[in-house]
Amino acid sequence: MALIFKYLIAGLVRYWLIHIDYWQTIANRVEIATPLNSWKRLIEGVYLYENGINPYEGDSFHESPILLVFFHYLLKRTPYLLPLLFTILDLLTAFLLYRTSKCFIKMFKESQEMTKKDVAEESKDMLLSDEQFNAVPEYVLSVYLFNPYSVLNCAGMTTTVVQNLLVATSLWGACSGRRVVSCAFIALATHQALYPVLLIVPISILLADVNKGCNKCSYIRTLLVFVLCWGFLIYISAYIMDGSYKYVNNTYGFILTVPDLKPNIGLFWYFFTEMFEHFRLLFVCAFQINALALYVVPLTLKFKREPMLLATVLITLSTIFRSYPCIGDVGFYLALLPMWKHLFSFMRQKFIIGCAFIITSALGPTVWHLWIYSGSANANFFFGVTLSFATAQIFLITDLLFAYTKREFTLRHGTSRQIDGKPAKLVLR
C-alpha cells in the first residue's frame, strides 16, 4: 500500500508540473533540454516529417527515426495523452529499477553466503542482515520517484525519459537472466543516445553470472544478440527514411562531432567554444575516447565480480563526460546508488559532495539568469558552476569505488591494525 501511495504522489506531481503555466520555462531550461532530447526539437522534427520534408537535412532534429515515427503516430492520434504517457513511462522506469534492485539483492545475498567463510572474525558484524537487504529496493524507488532531477526531466517531457526506461529495462533483463530482453533494450538505448553501448560489458557479466553457464560462451552469445539487435534497428531506421542512411550523420555523427555548442551541464560546450578550429578534431577525439573507451577496460578488470557496481560507475562516467548531458541522466544514476548503501559508512566525502550538489544546482539557474537576462555575468560564471557540478560527480564516484575497496579489504583482514607496534582500530563514520 505504501508503494502504491508513492507511485500515486510521484505521478500526480509530474502530471501537475506538465500542466502548470511555467511548463514552457521548465521544458526549455538548458539543464533539462539539450539539442538531443528537447521536446521542442522533437515537435519540429515530427512537423517536418508530416509535411514530407526530411528532418535530418537541417540541423534541428537528432533523434532516431524509430522515435520520430513513434511520436509522429502519437501526436497524430492521441496528442492529449502525451503528458500521461511521459508520466507513466517515468513511473515504469522507477518500477523497473525497483525490480532490478530486488534481483541485485538476491544475488548479493548469495554472494555474501558463499564468501562468508573468508570474512575475518572481527568483521562478521559488517555482514548485511535481511532487514538491511529488504530496505534497499524501497530506497531505490523513492530516490528515483522524488529526486528533483528525475521529476523535472519528466516534467520537461524530454526524450531522456524514454532513454532511462530503455536502460532500466535492460538492467532488469540482465539481472533476471533474460538475454534477448536485455540486449534488445540496450540496443534501443544505444540507437537513441550511443553512450549506453558501454553497458554491454557489465550486462554480459551479469547474464553470465545469473545463468551460471560457460562464461566465454555467454559473453559471445550476449555480444552477438546485441550486435544483431543494433544492426536490425539501424536497418529499420534506414527503411523508415526510404532506404537512406544519411540520418546517421545527424544522430551518431551529431553526438560524436559536437557541432551544436549551446550551453548545458556538460564540459564540451565551453571548451570547444574557446577552441581554435584547427585543433578541434584532436580534442573531439580525446574527449570522446574519454567518454566511450578510456575507463571500460581498467574498471572491468577491477570490478568484474561486481557487474552492477560496474554498470553504475559506467553510467555515471558517461553522464559526466558525454557531449550533451542533462539532469535526467544524473537523476537516473543517483537512483542506483542506494544499492550500495552498505558502502556509505566507508565514504569520506559525503558531506562535501552533498553540499556541492545542492549549491551548484541552486547556482546554475541563478548564474544563467545573470548571464542571459541581466547581463551582469558571462559564460565563465555558468561554466564554473557546471565544472563544479562535474567535479562533485567525479568525487562521488571515486569515493564510492574507494569505499568498496576499503570494505572488501576490511572484511578479509579485519578492523584492527598495528601502527608503529601499537594497536589501531578502523572507525566507521
Domain ranges of the chain: 2-346
Q: Which residues contact 168 (CB under 8 A, 6 or more apart)?
A: 93, 96, 97, 100, 332
* φ, ψ of residue 378 in degrees (nearest 5): -140, -175
Cβ atoms within 10 Å of 285's Cβ, excluding its own: 11
Distance CA 354, CA 352 (A): 6
Per-residue confidence band for 423, with pLDDT thresholds at 50, 70 and 90: low
Per-residue confidence band for 350, with pLDDT thresholds at 50, 70 and 90: very high
- What confidence tier does 122 reach under pLDDT thresholds 50, 70, 90? confident
CA 109 to mean position of chain CA atoms:
25
- Full DSSP string of 359-413: HHHHHHHHHHIIIIII-SS-HHHHHHHHHHHHHHHHHHHHHHHHHHHHHHHHHHH
Contacts of 161 (CB under 8 A, 6+ apart): 86, 89, 90, 93, 153, 154, 328
| Strand pairing class (416-419; 422-425) | antiparallel
What's the sign of the alpha-carbon dihedral 301, 305, 307, 312?
Answer: negative
Evaluate if residue 94 carries a pLDDT over 80: yes
Most confident of 78-82, 88-92, 271-275, 293-297: 88-92
Task: Provide the residue count of the chain.
Answer: 429
pLDDT over threshold 70, residue 416: no
Instruction: Name the pLDDT band for 212 (thresholds 50, 70, 90).
Output: confident
Distance (Å, rounded) from C-alpha 43 to C-alpha 35? 12
CA distance 145 to 7: 7
Strand partners, 417: 424
Report residue 410's pLDDT band, with 50, 70 and 90 as the boundaries.
confident
51-80 tens-digit pLDDT: 989 999 888 899 999 999 999 999 988 888
Query: What is the per-residue pLDDT for 426?
Result: 54
**What pLDDT, in 10s, does the model give residues 271-291?**
998 888 888 899 999 999 988
What's the pLDDT at 125?
79
Give start and end residues of each alpha helix (H) in 241-279: 247-257, 268-274
pLDDT digits (tens, 9 = 90+) for 153-204: 999 999 999 999 999 999 999 999 999 999 999 999 999 999 999 999 999 9
Which pLDDT value is given to residue 144? 96
Q: What is the mean pLDDT of residues 314-332?
A: 95
Q: Count CA atoms closer than 13 A to 111's CA, side-chain side.
A: 15
Listed residue (128, 130, 118, 101) closest to 312, CA to CA: 101
For residues 21 and 282, give the distance between their C-alpha atoms in angstroms, rounded to a whole number: 45
Contact 148, 13 (CB under 8 A): no
Q: Which three cell numbers stand for residue 285?
A: 577525439
In this prediction the pTM is 0.94
| pLDDT score of 422 more than 80 | no
Half-sphere exposure of 59 (CA within 13 A, CB side): 7
Give the model's pLDDT for residue 130. 79
Q: How far is CA 407 from the centre of its chain?
A: 25
CA distance 399 to 234: 38
User: 111-125, 130-144, 148-162, 347-361: which has the minimum mean pLDDT?
Assistant: 111-125
* Per-residue pLDDT reduced to its tens digit, 300-313: 999 988 999 999 99
Residue type present at position 208:
A
Q: How confident is the model over 109-120, as pLDDT tens digits?
A: 888 888 888 777
